[in-house]
Structure 1
Amino acid sequence: MIAINKGGILLVIDDSSYRSLSYNSRIRFLVVHYTAINFVEAVAALTTNVSAHYLLPCLEDSSYPFPDLRTFKLVDESQRAWHAGISAWEDRVNINDQSIGIEIVYQPEERANSADLDFPDYPTDQIKQLILLCKDILQRHPDITPTRVVGHSDIAPDRKADPGPKFPWQHLYLEGVGAWYNPETVEYYQQQFRKTLPSVMEVQQKLKAYGYPIKLTGVEDEQMRQVVNAFQMHFNPESYYGQLDIKTVAVLYALVDRYF
C-alpha cells in the first residue's frame, strides 16, 4: 500500500490486493558489443554520449586501474541504454527499447597498409566473467531466448562488426548462453547443397526467418553481403567475407531447422 499526500489530497495506491497475470518483460534481447577503445576511454564514452548497461574490462589493458576483474553496471536494466543505435531483429526495430547491452573492452588492431583489422583472441578470464553475467541476466529475463542473444553486427549489419569473428559464440552456447547449430544437420545440408546452392531469395528468406534485418530482393546486393558477413562472423568465422558458400548456407538452414 502506498499513500501519497499532495496538497491535502491523499492518493492511495493498493499494489498488493490484486495482481494481473497478463504481462511480460519488456526485455527481449541481449546484445554483445566490443568497445574498440581502452577502459578509460570506454568509461568516458559510456557515461556521456552513449551508454550500455554493463561494461566488462580486460586485465591486460594498461589503462584499467583495478587489480581484479570487475563488471561495471552503468545503467539499470529497467532503463533504456543507448548502445544499439539504428537496429532491428526479428520483427522489432529500435532494439535499445527492448534490450540489455554489454560492452566488452576489446581492441582490434589495424593491419599495416590495409583497411582490414586483426582480431586477437578474447582473454579467458574476461569470457568467464561474461558468461556468469549473461547467465544472471537470462535467469531474470526469460523472454531472451537463445536466438535473441546477438552481437551488434547481427542487429546492425550495415554499420557494425562487433563483437567480431574471434568472439567465442560456440563456447557461450556450450555454457548455456545463446544459439548454435547441430553439426549433424549441417552435414546433411552440405550434402544437399554440393551440386547447387538454394536460390538467393530462399537464402534471404532463411536469414529473415532467423531474425536478420534483410530485404527480400532476390539479388546478391550490398545489403545481403553485409548480412551474410554478420552471419558468418557469428556462426562461420572461418569465412566471413560476405560470400555465400556451402557451409554458410548449411549452417543457416540447420539453425532455422533447430530454432524455428
Structure 2
Amino acid sequence: MLVIDSTYPAADFNGRNGEAVRQVIVHYTASAFGPSLKTLTCGGVSSHYLLADPHDPGYRAAGYQELRVFRLVDEAHRAWHAGASHWAGRDNLNSRSIGIEIVNQARDDAGVFTFPAYGAQQIDVLIDLIRDIQGRYPAIGPTDILGHSDIAYWRKSDPGPRLPWRCLFEAGVGAWYEDVAKMAFQRRFDISLPPEVEVERAFQRYGYAPAKNRLGFQQRVRAFQMHFRPCDYSGWLDAQTCAILYALNEKYTGVAG
C-alpha cells in the first residue's frame, strides 16, 4: 500500500518555468535514512520523494514501522535532483521531471562501486508510486522512466545495476526490449558490430546525450548496461549490448538502431 507522508518539506526548490512533467528520474541516496533526509531537506539539493528502507535502524528509531514515501517537494515545483542532465534532445531535466530518491547505501570507493540490493518492499512501493505519478502525467511514456545515470551518464551511477528494471516493466512501469527482437539482432551482430557512428545515432535516437569522446562513449554504454544488462556493465560495447539497443529502438521509436 502506498503511504505518502509530507512531514519533512525540502528547503530548496523553485518553479518549473512553464515546463510540463515528462520524466521520472530514480536515484539512490548512498546513505541511510537520517543522513538522506537531512541532505534532501536542508539545502543545496532536493527531490520530490524519498522512499525509505524499512530495515534501516535509523528509520525504525524515528518511530516508523510501515514503509512510507516522504513527499519533500510538491510535484508542481521544480526539485533540485537531476543537475546537469539530458534526455531526448532536452537539457536541464529538473524543470520537466519528478525525482524519486530511494534509501540505498551504495558506495563509491575511489571508483570501485558497491551496489547493495533493494528490498522487495521498496520495489513494490516504487512501482505503486510511479504508477500513481503516471496517472497524473499521461505524457510520461515507458522510455521516460529513467535512472539518474541514464540522463547524466558522464557523472552518475545511480540507481545502479541492482534496481530490477525488468521487474518494473513486467509490472507496467518503464521500458524493456522484446527477447525475440534482441536475439535476431544479436545473431547479426555476432558476425559484425555496426559502425560506431551508427551506434552513436542509435543511442541518441533512444534518448541518450551525445558522447563527446571515447571515455564518454564507454560511460554511456556502462549506464545503458546497468539499466538493460545488469549482469555485465563493463562499459565495453559488444553484440548483446548493441542488440538490446536496436531492439529497444525498434519497439519504442519504430526505427531499428
What TM bracket, shorter-length normalisation? 0.7 to 0.9
Percentage identity across paired residues of the two chains: 47
Moved over 3 A (4+): none
Q: Where does residue 5 of structure 2 map in the other structure?
A: none
Q: TM-score, normalised by structure 2?
A: 0.87
Q: Deviations over 1:51-79 (max 9, x none)?
A: 00000000121111211111100000000
Match of 2:79 in 1: 81
Shift of 1:235: 0.4
Does residue 139 of structure 1 match 2:132?
Answer: no
User: Of residues 42, 45, 50 in structure 2, which corresponds to 1:55?
Assistant: 50
**Structure 1 residues 101-110 or 250-259, which shifts more?**
101-110
Give CA deviations for 1:167-186 in whole Å, capped at 9, x if unaligned.
11000000010000000000
SS in 2 for 1:193: helix
Distance 1:52 1:110, change over 3 A: closer
Task: Name 2:7's counterpart in structure 1.
Answer: none
Report the Cα distance in structure 1 between the residues aligned to 2:69 and 2:127, rounded to whole angstroms. 12
- 2:20 corresponds to: 26
2:68 is equivalent to residue 70 of structure 1: yes
- Aligned-pair RMSD on alpha carbons? 1.5
Q: CA deviation at 1:115?
A: 3.8
Q: Following the alignment from structure 1 to structure 2, what is the Cα–Cα distance between the partners of residues 115 and 25?
A: 35
Task: State the partner residue of 1:41.
Answer: 35
The corresponding residue for 2:221 is 228
C-alpha distance in 1, partners of 2:207/2:155? Answer: 17
Paired letter, 1:233: M
- Picking from 176, 194, 197, the partner of 1:180 is 176
Name the SS of the counterpart of 1:164 in structure 2.
coil
Q: Could you tell me which runs of 5 or more consecutive residues in structure 1 were left unpaired when the two chains were aligned.
A: 1-23
Give per-residue Cα distances to partners, 1:135-160, cap 9 Å, x unaligned: 00011101110001100000000110
Letter aligned with residue 251 of structure 1: I
Partner of 2:195: 199
Q: Is the 8 A contact 1:25 1:141 kept in 2?
A: no
Q: Is the 8 A contact 1:33 1:151 kept in 2?
A: yes
In structure 2, what is the Cα distance between the partners aligned to 1:199 and 1:256?
16
**Conserved 8 A contact 1:89-1:212:** yes
Q: CA deviation at 1:118?
A: 2.3
User: Is 1:128 aligned to residue 124 of structure 2?
Assistant: yes
The answer to whether the 8 Å contact 2:28/2:106 transfers is no
Runs (5+) with no aligned partner, structure 2:
1-17
Equivalent residue of 2:191, what SS? coil
2:107 and 2:144 map into 1 onto residues whose CA distance is: 29
* TM norm structure 1: 0.86
Q: 2: CA distance between counterparts of 1:107 and 1:25?
A: 32
Structure 2: distance between partners of 1:117 and 1:59: 23
Higher helix share: 2
- Counterpart in 2 of 1:258? 251
Aligned position for 2:10: none
